[in-house]
């Protein structure tokens, strides 16, 4: 009989009874094995010794590797080393005890549960210290890069986290391997540390792009107009997607031209009302969106004025060529008043040449459509023709009526306007 068979027989409760004393059970096994006489029995003491060593080795192999102390701050290494040493000793003691009890017995289950808990504590501690190192690297980088959002609540959290990751608190580890930090006013677990937010650069880039677009369009943005609503909806969606962090970033971080919305008394009053629970997130969001749309309108006016600046012609030359150039320049700079809009002849001509006037005129002159319905149909037609909204709306306004075309699409709108306004 082999050592393994001898040991299995000695531990078989159906052959030898249930003995808590492993020696008694083993002696019974030797007696029974002698009766079988199938194989030569080897040194029983050595067999038992080998069995216990093998069992202990199996348990120790299940014990996770020690926590890597290479990235652990010096201040915390002793605490972690002491914890690991104590837990490992407890584990070895339990491993030496577990085989004294029958598999499945209450004591056996209790001891194995304790051993599993110790294994779990090693894994938890290793995971938490790894997370500590990663979080420390991230927040220090964000602080150095000035990326943390500047709302008061966020800065309070950042300051607290800075203290933690600067090792200003003592480290404590519970029996499950969970890490906590001890301050004068109590304990806080690593898993319970407050979060923090960074500036919403993505949303800010989108807002800057809006500003560039309205300026370069050279058309005054009209509140309630299609383009105005498009930008307002875009900003609203961006804030909703980012939630409170995005809203607070727009308010506090000054990412648009270095101007902080919180410095506006009306915005500050609404922020206080939001924090006090008097208004909702949506209410404050709408205040912020409307405030930025005011800035976009002003930006569009500046772009409008910039596009209408003309380069002055040099005087003093009386030859015919310069006189013709001067006349052409005067004609090009002359504005035409049409249904409350100021258009240059060139703008008027490009308006017709860049689209099908018959279809647009049919929409504008349809007495059965109100202004909102006309706007929707003009937008639909513009998309169909591959035009932008700015191509359809002149100076950000929809004409109340269109000029008569007489069924032609290639006439000179410039001449029409000039003759109309004589």
What are 218-275's pLDDT values in tens digits?
899 999 999 999 999 999 999 999 999 999 999 999 999 888 999 999 999 999 999 9
Are 279 and 302 part of one and the same domain?
Answer: yes
Yes or no: say if 125 and 67 are a contact pair by the CB < 8 Å rule.
Answer: yes
Strands (E), 247-369: 336-338, 341-343
Are 300 and 326 part of one and the same domain?
Answer: no
Last residue of a domain, one of 57, 91, 125: 125
Yes or no: say if 128 and 178 are a contact pair by the CB < 8 Å rule.
Answer: yes
pTM strictly above 0.75: no
Q: Using CA atoms, how far apart are residues 55 and 96, in angstroms rounded to an integer? A: 9
Yes or no: say if 180 and 189 are a contact pair by the CB < 8 Å rule.
Answer: yes
Are 341 and 263 part of one and the same domain?
Answer: no
Are 378 and 414 part of one and the same domain?
Answer: yes
Last residue of a domain, one of 125, 154, 175: 125
pLDDT at 356: 47
C-alpha dihedral sign at 212, 213, 217, 218: negative
Are 295 and 371 part of one and the same domain?
Answer: no
Are 120 and 7 part of one and the same domain?
Answer: yes
H/E stretch holding 38 reads: none
Looking at the domain assignment, is residue 185 inside a domain? no
Looking at the domain assignment, is residue 147 inside a domain? no
Q: Using CA atoms, how far apart are residues 363 and 157, in angstroms rounded to an integer? A: 57
CA angle 346-393-340, nearest 5°?
Answer: 75
Count CB-CB contacts under 10 A for residue 37. 9
pLDDT at 334: 54
Last residue of a domain, one of 125, 156, 183: 125
pLDDT at 42: 52
Using CA atoms, how far residue 345 sits from 224, 360, 416, in Å, is 27, 19, 10
CA angle 369-375-378, nearest 5°?
Answer: 100
Reading the block at residue 187, the tokens are 């304990």
CA angle 369-293-391, nearest 5°?
Answer: 50
Query: What residues does 186 pair with on adjacent strands?
Result: 183
What are 351-388's pLDDT values in tens digits?
444 444 556 666 767 777 777 777 767 666 655 554 44
Reading the block at residue 225, the tokens are 């107009």
Looking at the domain assignment, is residue 177 inside a domain? no
Strands (E), 18-177: 170-173
Yes or no: say if 150 and 253 are a contact pair by the CB < 8 Å rule.
Answer: yes
Yes or no: say if 348 and 336 are a contact pair by the CB < 8 Å rule.
Answer: yes
Reading the block at residue 128, the tokens are 């938490």
Are 206 and 278 part of one and the same domain?
Answer: yes
Are 117 and 80 part of one and the same domain?
Answer: yes
Are 297 and 329 part of one and the same domain?
Answer: no
Are 297 and 327 part of one and the same domain?
Answer: no
Reading the block at residue 127, the tokens are 């995971």
Looking at the domain assignment, is residue 184 inside a domain? no
Q: How many domains does the chain have?
A: 3
Looking at the domain assignment, is residue 140 inside a domain? no
pLDDT in tens, the chain (422 residues): 444 554 444 444 444 343 333 344 345 444 444 444 444 545 554 454 454 445 445 555 555 555 666 668 888 999 999 999 999 999 999 988 888 888 888 999 999 999 999 999 999 999 999 999 899 999 989 998 999 999 999 999 999 898 898 888 999 999 999 999 988 888 999 999 999 999 999 999 999 999 999 999 889 999 999 999 999 999 999 999 999 999 999 999 999 988 899 999 999 999 999 999 999 999 999 999 999 999 999 999 999 988 877 445 444 454 545 555 544 544 445 554 444 445 555 555 554 444 445 566 667 677 777 777 777 676 666 555 544 444 444 444 444 444 433 333 333 444 444 444 43
Question: To 10 degrees, the CA torsion angle through 135, 140, 142, 144?
Answer: -170
Using CA atoms, how far residue 38 sits from 13, 14, 25, 130, in Å, is 21, 20, 20, 56
Are 12 and 121 part of one and the same domain?
Answer: yes
Yes or no: say if 257 and 296 are a contact pair by the CB < 8 Å rule.
Answer: no
Looking at the domain assignment, is residue 167 inside a domain? no
Strands (E), 75-183: 170-173, 179-183
Looking at the domain assignment, is residue 146 inside a domain? no
Are 329 and 286 part of one and the same domain?
Answer: no
Looking at the domain assignment, is residue 183 inside a domain? no
Burial of 393 (0-12, 13-18, 19+ CB in 10 A): buried
Domain containing 215 equals: 201-307
């Amino acid at each position: 009989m082999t050592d393994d068979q001898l040991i299995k027989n000695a531990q078989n409760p159906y052959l030898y009874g249930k003995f808590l004393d492993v020696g008694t059970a083993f002696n019974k096994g030797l007696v029974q094995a002698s009766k079988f006489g199938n194989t030569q029995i080897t040194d029983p003491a050595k067999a038992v010794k080998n069995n216990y060593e093998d069992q202990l080795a199996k348990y120790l192999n299940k014990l996770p590797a020690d926590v890597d102390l290479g990235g652990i701050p010096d201040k915390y290494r002793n605490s972690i080393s002491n914890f690991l040493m104590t837990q490992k000793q407890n584990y070895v003691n339990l491993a030496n005890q577990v085989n004294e009890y029958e598999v499945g017995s209450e004591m056996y289950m209790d001891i194995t549960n304790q051993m599993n808990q110790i294994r779990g504590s090693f894994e938890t501690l290793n995971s938490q210290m790894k997370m500590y190192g990663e979080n420390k690297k991230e927040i220090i980088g964000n602080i150095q890069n000035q990326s943390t959002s500047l709302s008061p609540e966020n800065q309070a959290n950042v300051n607290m986290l800075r203290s933690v990751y600067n090792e200003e608190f003592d480290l404590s580890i519970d029996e499950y391997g969970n890490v906590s930090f001890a301050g004068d006013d109590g304990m806080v677990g690593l898993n319970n540390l407050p979060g923090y937010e960074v500036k919403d650069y993505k949303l800010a880039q989108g807002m800057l792009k809006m500003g560039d677009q309205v300026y370069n369009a050279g058309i005054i943005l009209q509140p309630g107009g299609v383009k105005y609503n498009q930008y307002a909806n875009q900003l609203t969606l961006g804030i909703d997607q980012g939630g409170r962090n995005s809203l607070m970033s727009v308010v506090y971080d000054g990412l648009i031209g270095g101007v902080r919305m919180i410095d506006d008394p009306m915005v500050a009053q609404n922020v206080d009302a939001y924090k006090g629970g008097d208004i909702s997130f949506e209410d404050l969001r709408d205040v912020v969106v409307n405030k930025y749309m005011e800035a976009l309108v002003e930006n569009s006016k500046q772009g409008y004025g910039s596009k209408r600046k003309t380069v002055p012609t040099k005087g003093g030359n009386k030859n015919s060529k310069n006189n013709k150039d001067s006349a052409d320049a005067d004609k090009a700079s002359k504005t035409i008043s049409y249904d409350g809009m100021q258009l240059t002849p060139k703008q008027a001509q490009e308006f017709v040449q860049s689209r099908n006037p018959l279809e647009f005129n049919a929409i504008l002159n349809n007495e059965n459509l109100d202004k909102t319905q006309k706007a929707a149909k003009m937008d639909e037609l513009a998309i169909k023709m591959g035009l932008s909204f700015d191509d359809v709306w002149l100076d950000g306004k929809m004409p109340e009526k269109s000029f008569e075309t007489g069924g032609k699409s290639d006439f000179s709108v410039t001449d029409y306007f000039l003759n109309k306004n004589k």
